[in-house]
Amino acid sequence: MKFISNSPEETLNLGYKFGKKLKSGTIVALIGELGTGKTLFTKGIAKALGVKGHEYVNSPSFVIVKEYKSKKIPLYHFDLYRLKSGDDLNTIGYDEYFYSNGVTVVEWADRAMDILPGKHILVKFKHSGKNKRQIKIEK
């Protein structure tokens, strides 16, 4: 499915609508350049899952993963921007998150495709103008 987002608000709302359909154990792999909306999309997912303070969700670039509790399903938010490969995740026990009962969102997933479970949802983000983004969801 392809979508065009014309504003940050539309990207957030698309993440929200997408997040409403996610189930426990889902892994969402986000790929795209800096500033294409990956984190905004994740905020929308957090809102859909009922994460309190979802508006404060940000990229965990320096800690690699952040855990968010909710009334429904926990959210595990990875940001692999600073990693060179999936092997760098071995020290944090990534598999405990990937095979958990939460929803796991991985920004910069292209840096660790070799360790992602085969069953994941791929979301690609691409600049298409000042505030315009192409967002493609592949299952």
Query: Mind listing the pLDDT tens digit for each residue in 27-84?
Result: 999 999 999 999 999 999 999 999 998 888 888 777 889 999 998 899 999 999 887 7
The second-level CATH assignment, the architecture, of 2-138 is 3-Layer(aba) Sandwich (3.40)
pLDDT at 90 over 80: no
* All structural domains of the chain with their residue ranges: 2-138
Strands 121-127 and 27-31: parallel
pLDDT, one tens digit per residue, over 98-139 is 889 999 999 999 988 888 888 999 999 999 988 899 999 998
Is residue 2 over pLDDT 90? yes
How far lies 25's CA from each of 28, 73, 76, in Å?
10, 9, 11
| Cβ neighbours of 74 (radius 10 Å) | 17
